[in-house]
Structure 1
């Protein structure tokens, strides 16, 4: 067998050991989209961009900032439950490679119903009987999957209408996630990202890197160890730099204690929020540090 330490990915793009996961299992929530976003950053070499991760059933859209997913600034709904835990800022819609395509007199619909993992058995391009988003992507020339001759009979108007639905909904989600009116680069990953057009409204460019289909696994494999400080400090104006240095050092120490290799740790995010409703120049300071996983020797 394999004798190796076990680490799990958590939803801020870093790793945690089993003991930490037992204490804080909620930290694993939404780690899937986070892994894909970290993998997208690695494959595209774009530390700041929008990421569209499309699987068989859903499309997850998030924003990368300095190579890590932007965190949600408000409470997040998880399975109908309002939570106040740290979560990545991700918006999901029911469009994926296996999404059903329905064309009726009233219009064309794509998703949210999907064949899911049975795409290779049920999609037309694989000899099945269900018209899916993958089928219209192949018929529309966006992808080479399965047997294109099996969708050659599809009416061009149906294909174009379905692809317009996909394009419009993806563009809408990217637009909702942007922090400004400026177009942003969009990195398309996941097996279903064959649905993303080369030109997407609101995107300065669309990047589909090599190995895009396995970005999720790559994101988990390259994950670093993190340490974070999130605390309210009393910041005297003349001592601001001293307080920030203290917070930085504590974040670095926490990363090393969690398993990061000393000397590899760097600060990736600093946030200061003055709290006017509290006395004493109260300021919430949040510092995040990350470093490479140390697999040898004792932890500091």
Structure 2
């Protein structure tokens, strides 16, 4: 049995084949195309070329993609969302879309209604929902929206009002109409949770096209028996069907694929991963074998959200970064890059643009392209100065990712890792693997399946032991829905945060479980 792993980046689409022992059989890079299907099809064709593999033996196909992120950043292909906030009259002073970029509001349609509903912070009823009021709003929106986002005040404490409103939406618009309930997306904080839920609702069409393109590319390659999975931004997998309901969970999955791939290649569970691409370098932290989660509210496309995101730092350094010598003799690297045109523009490949890759060739760090041509055009002084700038950029970024003063272990991956020196201040050990260039695709293909659940539990009313059992059961149910084998589930993270001065001793509980794919 084989697994096919694909990661679609901004510059390249990588593909690998793993056998049943999780050994890499073949790996390729192909340029990413404007339409996802062509790029994936090219990568699949490349990785299967000259391989005596029975297509029917490829039983699992995993995809990591930036399509969802790009849709938000570029404001393209987003669906029209009707926002149903269950929080009147308490929240009328801050309407939905407050502090949003206007072009993104326009792309999502701008429709919202603040209706009766919501809870207090202790779980007491703020206002009962009014079914007739909700039905009236839905009647006004008929034919003008593609999805509904339902957001209740303190829905993290109690979910029944959101669930009741969703039932009304499905009764009016049909059982297949896309609905996002905020308690399944975000955490505490009404506005940030609402923002994340609205984005998720606007992405249903994007993820549907992505999954359809993936299915079509597999079918054209004769791969008919593979189960489809997409990568999540916590370094795990979810079924294609689950992804259709929670497309926002794919945002940030590219860097986490590389982090998981780095863990697999190095065998390390605690390290800083430096993933060097063609244009940017992403840094993340391995914590117990998984990407460290950001503890801060994260901006997505200019919108502040509070759903789960990996703790990632990006800097403008890559293999295609343009190197410039200035009039005062100083040398700068990036942040602009030749990107996927490196094979045309870099000096080592016959071009006339000095890149970070040319610096690595000039200093003997890699054997790539025409080294004699680089030596003839690039002086030792410029190359040395450029490398010093690269070293400083990476060392500074690593220091920012540290949580302790000691030396960190670093894993270098990515196609552009050849430009980074292996001797770095503040780093104890640097690990590189020959297959690190496709760590992202490896991370996609080896992923486990996760499920997590977050809720406020008033311990004065619900004993802690009962709360933990309940949260674990919900997390396990989410993992199973994502494609995990129930027999392999294990808890990997438990988080309890007490709410200060809460009369019922409420705690925010988050439990995460992971399991293996069902074979």
TM-score class, shorter-chain normalisation, is over 0.9
1:222 aligns with 2:446: yes
Aligned to 1:130: 353
Matches within 5 A, 1:180-199: 180-199=404-423
Q: 2:335 is paired with a residue of what secondary structure?
A: strand
1:262 aligns with 2:486: yes
Kept in 1, the 8 Å contact 2:242–2:482? The answer is no
1:54 aligns with 2:303: no
How far apart, CA to CA, are the structure 2 residues paired with 1:245 and 1:91? 35
How far apart, CA to CA, are the structure 2 residues paired with 1:241 and 1:197? 50
Residue number among 224, 227, 230 corresponding to 1:5 in the alignment:
227
How far apart, CA to CA, are the structure 1 residues paired with 2:259 and 2:382? 32
1:69 aligns with 2:291: yes
Matches within 5 A, 1:107-118: 107-118=330-341
Q: TM-score, normalised by structure 2?
A: 0.55
Aligned to 1:289: 513
Aligned to 1:40: 262
Kept in 2, the 8 Å contact 1:72–1:86? The answer is yes
Residue number among 137, 140, 144 corresponding to 2:367 in the alignment:
144
How far apart, CA to CA, are the structure 2 residues paired with 1:131 and 1:117? 15
Question: Displacement of 1:255 after TM fit?
Answer: 1.5
Question: Displacement of 1:248 after TM fit?
Answer: 3.0
Deviations 1:60-93 (A, max 9, x none): 0011111111111112223333332221110101
How far apart, CA to CA, are the structure 2 residues paired with 1:85 and 1:252? 19
Unaligned runs of 5+ in 1: 296-300
Question: Displacement of 1:164 after TM fit?
Answer: 0.9
Deviations 1:125-170 (A, max 9, x none): 1111110000001112222222211211321111111011111011
Unaligned runs of 5+ in 2: 1-221
How far apart, CA to CA, are the structure 1 residues paired with 2:459 and 2:361? 59
1:94 aligns with 2:316: yes
Give the root-mean-square deviation of aligned CA atoms.
Answer: 1.9
How far apart, CA to CA, are the structure 2 residues paired with 1:42 and 1:88? 18
Kept in 1, the 8 Å contact 2:237–2:448? The answer is yes
How far apart, CA to CA, are the structure 2 residues paired with 1:160 and 1:57? 21
Q: Greater shift after overlay, 207-216 or 254-263?
A: 254-263
Question: Displacement of 1:242 after TM fit?
Answer: 5.0
Structure number with larger C-alpha Rg: 2
Deviations 1:19-47 (A, max 9, x none): 32222221111111110111001111111
Kept in 2, the 8 Å contact 1:43–1:210? The answer is no
Q: TM-score, normalised by structure 1?
A: 0.92
Question: Displacement of 1:104 after TM fit?
Answer: 1.0
Aligned to 2:101: none
Residue number among 81, 88, 97 corresponding to 2:303 in the alignment:
81
1:119 aligns with 2:342: yes
Q: Greater shift after overlay, 57-66 or 267-276?
A: 267-276
Q: 2:487 is paired with a residue of what secondary structure?
A: coil
Deviations 1:79-123 (A, max 9, x none): 333332221110101110001000112321111111111111111
Question: Displacement of 1:275 after TM fit?
Answer: 1.4
Q: Greater shift after overlay, 243-252 or 146-155?
A: 243-252
Residues 256 and 21 of structure 1: CA distance in aligned 2, closer, same or farther (over 3 Å): closer
Q: Greater shift after overlay, 212-221 or 110-119?
A: 110-119
Q: Greater shift after overlay, 41-50 or 75-84?
A: 75-84
Residue number among 176, 195, 201 corresponding to 2:400 in the alignment:
176
